[in-house]
Amino acid sequence: MKGVVFAGDRKIEFREFPDPTPGPGEVVLEIKASGMCGSDLKFYRAVGGAASLGFKTAGGPVIGGHEPCGVVVAVGSGVSEKQAWVGMRAMQHHYRGCGVCPHCATGWMQLCVEGVAEVYGITGNGGHARYMKCPARTLVQLPDELSFETGAAISCGTGTAWGALQRLGLQGDHTIAIFGQGPVGLSATQLAAHMGARVIALDTSEERLARAKELGADVLVNPKTAGNVVQAIRDLTHGLGAHLSLDASSSPEARAQAVRCVRTWGKACFVGEGDTVTLDVSNDMLRRQVTIIGSWTFSTIGQAECARYVADRKVDVDQLFTHRWRLDQAEEAYRLFDTQTAGKGVIMPS
């Protein structure tokens, strides 16, 4: 089968891989939708393909795509019928840990005490191919009401936004400032608006701000034209600041603004991977009783809860997608995604 490999330096390669066969405890998914996530751009852009986000890189080329969703077509020995079965519609939790430590046992395989063994799409073959092999324990059933595209989004971007909003304790009477309106930020905007919160969406792209408005943002702020971003948010909140903020941009400046824009007793959550932030600990945090939270994706349990919420509350996650691509269009797909102006894209290998 053909698989998409991030070669670095903004290059995509199509390479031949053997069709996978499941071993003990494993399944093979036929991929129906494989989402494109902002984290993929770090590997797509990496000089010499050197990006790793701190993970141990594989010895050879790896199929990209860490938002896989599809149908189980083969089941290995030792897989319980309660875990997986042929024909099961499934999302994949894109990490593999030891499976038995306290974190793995509660669905947080990326926090495995032995260190994450595999990150599918980064250190192990991911969803940008027709088939994908993975442990049955990494599957999360996709509700029948949801499309495969929605399942792919929940498998990282939308699920990550859900996890961060849960960590923040978002309530309907809150105002939340969401920095960065890429796939994760747009998902956070859509979910927060659906939960009844007032959303201030920030991005330097007018196209992405327009998408945020369509997905429920109450106020749009472009840092390029807003002047003092923190003051602009205070002006929109009766001088107090937002109750909560979420940074999905990874920008050091935006991260600092996310902390400084919240009111006394407020909370700021960092979601975007990589880079740094510099803060004045006394003025930005201590003397305002501000809480800073780091949120890294979600557990298998959180992924299932997000999917059930989306299905029960009829959240139109498919609205996030502006582009659907065939596998052989991956080069064009990532060229457009690299401009960071479009909405979310998804590759449909099957």
Question: In sequence order, what DSSP letters do the residues of 81-107 get, joined into one string?
Answer: TTT--TT-EEEE--EE--SSSHHHHTT
* pLDDT value for 57: 60
pTM: 0.94
Average pLDDT over residues 230-249: 98
* pLDDT value for 51: 59
Alpha helices in 144-228 (DSSP H): 148-154, 157-168, 183-194, 206-214, 223-226
The kind and range of the H/E element at 38 are: helix 38-45
Q: Are strands 219-221 and 26-35 parallel, antiparallel or unpaired?
A: unpaired
Q: Are strands 2-8 and 11-16 parallel, antiparallel or unpaired?
A: antiparallel
What is residue 66's three-state secondary structure? coil
* pLDDT value for 48: 73
Residues 6+ away with beta carbon under 8 Å from 131 = 1, 19, 20, 28, 29, 30, 31, 73
**Whether the predicted pLDDT of 323 surpasses 80:** yes
Q: Which two tokens stand for residue 165?
A: 């909003």
Residues 6+ away with beta carbon under 8 Å from 66 = 37, 39, 40, 94, 119, 120, 121, 122, 126, 127, 155, 156
* pLDDT value for 343: 84
**Whether the predicted pLDDT of 103 surpasses 80:** yes
**Whether the predicted pLDDT of 58 surpasses 90:** no
Q: Which two tokens stand for residue 192?
A: 């927060």
Equal fold, 2-156+298-348 vs 161-294: no
**Whether the predicted pLDDT of 56 surpasses 90:** no
Query: Is the separation of the CB atoms in 4 and 14 below 8 Å?
Result: yes
- Its CATH class, for the domain covering 2-156+298-348, is alpha beta
Region of poorest pLDDT, from 53-57, 130-134, 333-337: 53-57
Average pLDDT over residues 270-279: 94
Task: Give 132-188 pLDDT, tens digit per residue.
Answer: 999 999 999 999 999 999 999 999 999 999 999 999 999 999 999 999 999 999 999
Task: Give 2-35 pLDDT, tens digit per residue.
Answer: 999 999 999 999 999 999 999 999 999 999 999 9
Average pLDDT over residues 212-236: 97
Share of the chain above pLDDT 70, in %: 97
Q: Give the confidence band of 107 by pLDDT, cuts at 50, 70, 90.
A: very high
Domain residue spans in the chain? 2-156+298-348, 161-294
Task: Give which of 93, 82, 127, 85 is closest to 305, Cα–Cα.
Answer: 93
d(CA 16, CA 202): 41
Task: Give which of 75, 62, 64, 66 is closest to 28, Cα–Cα.
Answer: 75
**Whether the predicted pLDDT of 274 surpasses 90:** no
Q: How far is CA 83 from CA 13, 80, 153, in A?
A: 34, 5, 22
Q: Give the confidence band of 53 by pLDDT, cuts at 50, 70, 90.
A: low
Q: Which residue did the predictor score with more confidence, 289 or 54?
A: 289
d(CA 253, CA 272): 13
**Whether the predicted pLDDT of 85 surpasses 90:** yes
Query: Is the separation of the CB atoms in 251 and 258 below 8 Å?
Result: no
Query: Is the separation of the CB atoms in 318 and 147 below 8 Å?
Result: yes
Query: Is the separation of the CB atoms in 96 and 134 below 8 Å?
Result: yes
Q: Which CATH architecture has domain 161-294?
A: 3-Layer(aba) Sandwich (3.40)
Q: Give the confidence band of 259 by pLDDT, cuts at 50, 70, 90.
A: very high
User: What is the pLDDT of the chain when averaged over all its residues?
Assistant: 95
